[in-house]
Structure 1
């Protein structure tokens, strides 16, 4: 009987140990599962947090890049506008310089043309005066026939008074009329005599070519108002 009780107690102890072991294993399993769930959630949350942080960082970086890109675009646009303005200003300045150079060149050309025109005009006047002087010289050296004489012109004004004073205006104009009538040179001919020829507005002169043995002439002349002395007759003396 004692042996039976002992067996029963032994069985109970074994059952208790088994039950306790089973309960311990169950608790361990429960603890493991709970830990797995807890740490798994934390890891998931950390991963999600890390993913979220990375996504936010990427988004921020993208935003910063967009801002930098916008700033760069704005700067580039500003630089382009500045470059365009500078090029426009340079173009305007270049055009102004070209216009000024063209205007200056045109002005210089006009001035040169004007100077050339004045020079040609002066040369034409000079040639005309030379021709006139040549004509006067030829007229002095060519003896017209009686009746073809013309008044020689005069510098005198007002009422005419005949003068026989050597060197006076009227005297010199009488010499010019005598030279014109005889064809002699007024500057080199010899004057033998000059005086009145029957009236206050009439005169005569005896002149000869320079040097011995040259021809001698007596010139009769009359005064024409405002036109000067006019030869009327030339006599060659023997």
Structure 2
């Protein structure tokens, strides 16, 4: 009796252990299934995510291509702008050069006109007739303005240049005039001359002279005494 009872009791314990193990295994399986079902990605979700990733890559490539096209389109405009600026600069340089050329031509023309006027005035002055109205010009000099000293020594460079200025007024050479006096006129660069034409009686001309640096003596007034 005791032996049978012990065998039954032993089998019962074994059954309990097996049932417990089976229960544990089932519980683990249920947990795994629940994890897969509630937290795992389904095949459809995986495919959708792959499609989204592929679409995103396509969009990025499209945007990159559009940026490249935009950049390519912008570069010709920049090039055209640079070319336009370069052309404008060249045009400005040409205009400036043309203006400089025009100014030089105008200066040359003014100089020629003055020389022509001077020649015309000299031509209008009859030989042996004083030019009482002017205008008069400096007669030129070999002296430097810084070193100039008015001289009244007959035959000196300064004396000879005074005589030349008087000749330009009288329309006569020194041999054709009587020089009564050449003297100072109130300043180191001021002078005067009293002259007359030989054989003209007592008509004396009073000529005032002024020194112009590097240009010589210039008649500034003429009057009859």
TM-score range, shorter chain: 0.3 to 0.5
Q: TM-score, normalised by structure 2?
A: 0.46
Q: Which has the higher contact order (CA 8 A, sep 6+)?
A: 2
Q: TM-score, normalised by structure 1?
A: 0.44
Structure number with bigger Rg = 1
